[in-house]
């Protein structure tokens, strides 16, 4: 009997607890959007029908995880829950020294802080720094250099591993700057900044060899390591029959350490860790900084129950059926948008679909914030909340305070894990198809007030 490929037919879970989504009217949405000053960050979530603002901490926990919460050990030192988390992290990453933190950026602050203290004028190199990673590197007066492969800049043309680091450039930079001034190479898996695109095992292996030859440590920023492992399974032939857990283990085997925002692939709403293979000077300094800023070594920034849920979530996030469904649902949304005439970064990444707004609205006035205008229009039309990655987020202004156009104008639809069903995605595709057929209805926006830094979070805008 031929087996039906059910993995891509339905969600591999059933629903035990529900939460209503907002069913709104056009009049209410317009009122809400005006009150939010045309900035979806200011919209109270109870007015949002489909929330694609972020996949960070927005996932649904399983019954196993909810059950695990009740077994949390809240001892200050030596909590059972800590050892459970440590075991899970060690088993996946091979990193013996595990420091729990409240979320990814706390790990970044600790690591970049201790590296910057070594000497001035250092450069950290990555396939692409995530924005909080870059902010932490720069806040510590170091340079954050991104060297993604060329393919990642061609949004329309599919390639299997657009998240890769440019190996030739990596060699060149090491030669030019000297290994002594490059304290760290970061491989972000998947590459969030470049569209959630995966990094191949071959690329990780090659980057590691270059780093090893130069004596530079390589760390994984592994918020989405499980999605990356599944992409490797699907797209790198020799891994087709290997489990995501085994693939992940090999990915980590090339690194000297890693950190994770567990709000992503570890299926929890809050949490993270920083981990090292060796107990050297970095691990020692990190422990000191952990106690200073997060908490004692056995809990960092987490409660015992959080560590229980995280330990369970790390393993669940590697489940083959879950991962197949996860990547399939993102692909389904991406292909649906493409078929509806909405250009995207192709192929879709693991956690999000990115609309290429410059291509979608070629005649839209640059000065009118095309991607932000589309974000507002998506909310007005269907109660869908997404995020602009364009001139508002980049926030560049000239000497007179005029907003400068950006090279890219994207709208990101980040998909929370295990939260929305296929019919929710069908609804989004239908709304976007309607928008694609009625582009003239999209109104431009202008900024009426914005702070100097990280403007997009709190800027106030108005329709023109
Ligand atoms: C989310 C994320 C971070 C930051 O983690 P937080 O938990 O948001 O502090 C760092 N790196 C990557 C790749 C991320 O996706």
Rounded Cα–Cα distance for residues 419 and 421 (Å): 7
- Ligand 1 binding pocket includes 132 (Cβ within 6 Å): yes
Give the mean pLDDT of the chain.
96
Give 189-233 pLDDT, tens digit per residue.
999 888 999 999 999 999 999 999 999 999 999 999 999 999 999
Q: How far is the CA of 219 from the centre of ligand 1 (A)?
A: 14
Provide φ and ψ at 72, rounded to 5°: -55, 135
Catalytic residue among 10, 13, 76, 457: 76
283 is catalytic: no
Indicate the range of 7-21, 36-50, 82-96, 151-165 predicted with least confidence: 7-21
Mean pLDDT lowest for which of 3-7, 36-40, 168-172?
Answer: 3-7
CA of 58 to the centre of ligand 1 (A): 13
Distance CA 124, CA 131 (A): 14
Q: Is 399 helix (H, G, I), strand (E, B) or coil?
A: coil
- Enumerate domains of the chain plus CATH numbers: 6-55+319-463 (3.90.1150.10), 63-316 (3.40.640.10)
Per-residue pLDDT tens for 407-446? 999 999 999 999 999 999 999 999 999 999 999 999 999 9
Q: Using a 6 Å cutoff on CB, does residue 196 contact ligand 1?
A: no
Q: Which of 223, 229, 266, 371 is catalytic?
A: 223
Whether 360 is a known active-site residue: answer: no
Burial class (CB in 10 A: 0-12, 13-18, 19+), 234: middle
- Interatomic CA distance for residues 323 and 225, integer angstroms: 11
- pLDDT for residue 7: 64
Q: What is the 101 CA–ligand 1 centroid distance (Å)?
A: 12
pTM over 0.85: yes
Using a pLDDT cut of 90, give the percent of the chain over it.
95
Burial class (CB in 10 A: 0-12, 13-18, 19+), 288: exposed
For residue 71, give both structure tokens: 């077994």
Ligand 1 atom having least distance to the Cα of 272: 7
pLDDT in tens, 355-398: 999 999 999 999 999 999 999 999 999 999 999 999 999 889 99
pLDDT of 44 > 90? The answer is yes
- Taking CA atoms, 343 is separated from 34, 52, 308, 407, in Å, by 28, 18, 41, 16
Q: What would the pLDDT profile of 278-325 be if each residue is shown by its tens digit?
A: 999 999 999 999 999 999 999 999 999 999 999 999 999 999 999 999
Going by alpha carbons, the residue nearest to atom 6 of ligand 1 is: 104
Please return the burial class of 329, using the count of CB atoms within 10 Å of its CB with bins 0-12, 13-18 and 19+: buried
Whether 434 sits among the annotated catalytic residues: the reply is no
Backbone angles phi, psi at 436, to 5 degrees: -60, -30
273 is catalytic: no
Q: What residue's CA is closest to ligand 1, atom 5?
A: 104
């Amino acid at each position: 009997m031929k087996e039906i490929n059910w993995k891509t037919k339905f969600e591999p879970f059933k629903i035990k607890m529900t939460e209503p989504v907002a069913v709104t009217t056009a009049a209410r949405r317009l009122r809400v959007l005006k009150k939010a000053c045309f900035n979806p960050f200011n919209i109270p979530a109870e007015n949002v029908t489909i929330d694609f603002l972020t996949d960070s901490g927005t996932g649904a926990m399983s019954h196993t995880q909810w059950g695990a919460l009740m077994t949390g050990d809240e001892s200050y030192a030596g909590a059972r829950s800590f050892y459970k988390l440590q075991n899970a992290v060690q088993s996946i990453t091979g990193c013996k020294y595990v420091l729990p933190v409240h979320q990814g950026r706390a790990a970044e602050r600790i690591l970049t802080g201790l590296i910057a203290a070594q000497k001035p004028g250092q450069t950290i190199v990555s396939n692409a720094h995530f924005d909080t990673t870059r902010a932490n590197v720069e806040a510590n007066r170091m340079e954050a250099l991104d060297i993604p492969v060329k393919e990642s800049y061609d949004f329309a043309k599919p390639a299997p591993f657009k998240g890769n680091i440019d190996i030739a450039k990596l060699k060149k930079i090491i030669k030019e700057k000297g290994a002594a001034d490059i304290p760290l190479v970061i491989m972000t898996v998947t590459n969030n900044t470049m569209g959630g695109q995966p990094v191949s095992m071959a690329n990780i292996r090659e980057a590691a060899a270059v780093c090893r030859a130069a004596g530079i440590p390589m760390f994984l920023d592994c918020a989405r390591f499980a999605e990356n492992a599944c992409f490797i399974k699907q797209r790198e032939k020799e891994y087709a029959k290997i489990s995501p857990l085994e693939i992940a283990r090999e990915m980590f085997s090339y690194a000297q350490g890693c950190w994770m925002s567990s709000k992503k692939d570890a299926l929890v709403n809050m949490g993270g860790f920083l981990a090292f293979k060796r107990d050297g000077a970095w691990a020692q300094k990190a422990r000191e900084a952990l106690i200073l800023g997060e908490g004692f070594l056995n809990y960092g920034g987490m409660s015992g129950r959080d560590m229980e849920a995280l330990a369970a979530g790390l393993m669940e996030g590697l489940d083959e059926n879950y991962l197949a469904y996860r990547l399939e649902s993102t692909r389904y949304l991406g292909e649906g948008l493409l078929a509806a005439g909405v250009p995207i970064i192709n192929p879709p990444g693991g956690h999000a679909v990115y609309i290429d707004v410059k291509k979608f609205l070629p005649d839209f006035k640059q000065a009118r914030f095309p991607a932000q205008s589309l974000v507002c229009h998506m909310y007005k039309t269907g109660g869908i909340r997404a995020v602009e990655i364009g001139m508002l987020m980049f926030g560049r202004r000239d000497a007179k305070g005029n907003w400068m156009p950006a090279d890219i104008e994207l709208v990101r639809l980040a998909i929370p894990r295990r939260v929305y069903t296929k019919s929710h995605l069908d609804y989004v595709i239908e709304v976007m198809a309607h928008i694609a057929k009625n582009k003239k209805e999209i109104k431009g926006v202008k900024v009426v007030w914005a702070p100097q830094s990280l403007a997009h979070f709190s800027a106030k805008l108005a329709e023109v």
